[in-house]
Every structure is written in structure tokens, then in C-alpha cells.
Amino acid sequence: MSDGAPLDLHIRFTEGEDVLVSATLNETIAQVKDKIKQVCPRLQAKHLRLIYQGRVLSDGQALALCGLSNPRFPDAAIYLHCSLTDILPENSEATLQPQITPPTGFDRLREAGFSEDDIQNIRAQFHHLHGTVFNGEINEETRNLEEQWMENAGETLPDGTLQGTYKEMVWGLMLGFFLGLITLFWFRESVFTRRHQMGIIAGILINISFGILHVYY
């Protein structure tokens, strides 16, 4: 895609409907925010933060440098999450910015549509299967273990093929968890990357664990 080609961006808010804006790859995040405010005048008095895959996009960053396109699915819709706050004084912005940290570990599953209860259940089963202590509180050790499992995005195999991204693993996890053993019928399909397959296996194991707990407890 050339820098001058229009790109459709789906802006998703915590509440309300999505907003669609068009921009070129050489436009900056600040220009995209201006377009959002033009489409939604009610946001003129708000400070906008655009988030993509858990990363807060800075105002001076060009869209071409944000990694929005997926070479595996070039026609896939692009969603940017928009966080709204009241406009702050200029000197307060620099103080607040470092406090914003992207989600890590299983907290990333919120972007895939999982509820808080789903995340807590998956987190509990994950640490149970790995033999780590988990009492409902997240500390640095448990978060690092989750992050290790969720990360490794885009790793390359020895034959040069991509394993896939963590989002593909999440979708595999969802398929394995909600569909169970039926997903094994399509396990070898070429549409599934290695990350999809790893996620499917993990989802099936968690599904089975829930079943065992339900029977015996």
C-alpha cells in the first residue's frame, strides 16, 4: 500500500458506536485525532488517546510507522481503541504520559473481547496447569509468566515460516476453549498458523480442566 492510499480506520470507544475515519499512511496520529473530532464534535473538549494492540500511539507518529497492516490479512479491518479524558493543562500531559502502561499477560485478552470473569478463569487454570501459586493477586512473577506465553509475536521457524502473532494464539485459545475437541477436525488446515494450533491446544486443555472441576467439585 502506498503512503498516499486512503486507509479506513475503525475507532472504537468504551461506550457508543464505532467511528470510521479515512487517513493516509503519511498522516500523523494527531491528524487522525483531528478527523475524529470533526466527525464527533462532542469530543472537542476531550483529550484523545489512540491505542493499537496495547500500545499508546504518540501524536507525532506517522501511521506508516504504527504497524497497522497485517501481511497475512491485508484486507482485514483496522481497529484503534480510543480513550477519552478531560483536556489537561499542557504541563500536566508530560507528567501523565509515563503513567500509561499497555496491558500485559492475560490482560491482553480484553482486546479480543474476553470478560473479566473469563480472564480470571483462564488465569487461574493456566497457573494451576503450570504449578505456579496464584491466589487472585497479580505479581511480577505471575505476570512475566503470562507475558512469556502470550508474547513471542512473529517468531520465525527454522524453515522460514512465521509462527504467527499472539492475537492468532488468542483466537486459537478461544476456538479451543469454546468449541472443545471439535476443533481438532480442522487442526491440520493450512489456514491455522502454529500460534493458532498452540492456542487451540491450550484452549482445549482449559476446557477439559473446567469439565473435570465441574464434575468433582
Q: Is the pLDDT of residue 198 over 80?
A: no
- Is residue 13 predicted with pLDDT exceeding 50? yes
Predicted local confidence at residue 70, as pLDDT: 57
Residues 112 and 83 in one domain: no
- Tell me whether residue 197 is in a domain: yes
DSSP-derived letter for residue 161 is -
Q: What are the backbone angles phi and psi of residue 178, rounded to the nearest 5°?
A: -85, -30
Last residue of a domain, one of 40, 70, 99: 99
The pLDDT tens digits for 89-142 are 555 444 545 555 677 777 777 766 667 777 777 777 777 766 676 676 777 777
Dmax of the chain from CA atoms? 60
How many domains does the chain fold into? 2
Q: Do 127 and 84 lie in a common domain?
A: no
End-to-end CA distance of the chain: 55
* Shared domain check, 109 and 95: no
Q: Nearest CA to 33 among 60, 55, 15, 14?
A: 60
Query: Which of residues 99, 128, 152 is at a domain's end?
Result: 99
**CA dist 144 → 127, 167, 204 (Å):** 12, 18, 23
pLDDT in tens, 57-96: 888 988 888 887 655 556 678 889 898 888 655 554 445 4
Task: Please indicate, yes or no, if residue 134 is contained in any of the structural domains.
Answer: yes
* Alpha carbon distances (Å) from 77 to 69, 70, 83, 215: 9, 10, 19, 41
Query: pLDDT band at 175, cuts 50/70/90?
Result: confident
Same domain, 181 and 110: yes
What are the grid coordinates assigned to 35, written together?
Answer: 478527523
Q: Which residues pair with residue 21 across a beta bridge?
A: 9
Q: Are residues 84 and 111 in the same domain?
A: no
* 26: three-class secondary structure by DSSP: coil
Tell me, yes or no, whether 95 and 124 share the same domain: no
The residue from 99, 134, 160 where one domain ends is 99
- Residue 111 shares a structural domain with residue 91: no
Q: Are residues 68 and 29 in the same domain?
A: yes
Note whether 19 and 69 are same-domain residues.
Answer: yes
Whether residues 52 and 112 fall in one domain:
no
How does pLDDT run across 21-53, given as a tens digit for each residue?
999 888 999 999 999 999 999 888 888 989 888
Give domain status of residue 1, yes or no: no
Same domain, 84 and 168: no
Strand 46-52 to strand 78-86: parallel, antiparallel, or no bridges (unpaired)?
antiparallel
The larger pLDDT score, comparing residue 51 to residue 169, is at 51
Query: C-alpha angle with apex 181: 180 to 187, nearest 5 degrees?
Result: 105
Give me the torsion for CA of 61, 106, 145, 139, rounded to 10°: 90
Phi, psi of 46 (to 5 degrees): -115, 155
Domain that holds residue 117: 105-216
Give the DSSP H or E segment for 84: strand 78-86
What CATH number does the domain containing 10 carry?
A: 3.10.20.90
186 lies in the same domain as 200:
yes
Q: Which residue has the higher pLDDT, 158 or 45?
A: 45
- pLDDT tops 80 at residue 10: yes
Q: Of the candidates 1, 119, 115, which has an alpha carbon nearest to the alpha carbon of residue 63?
A: 1
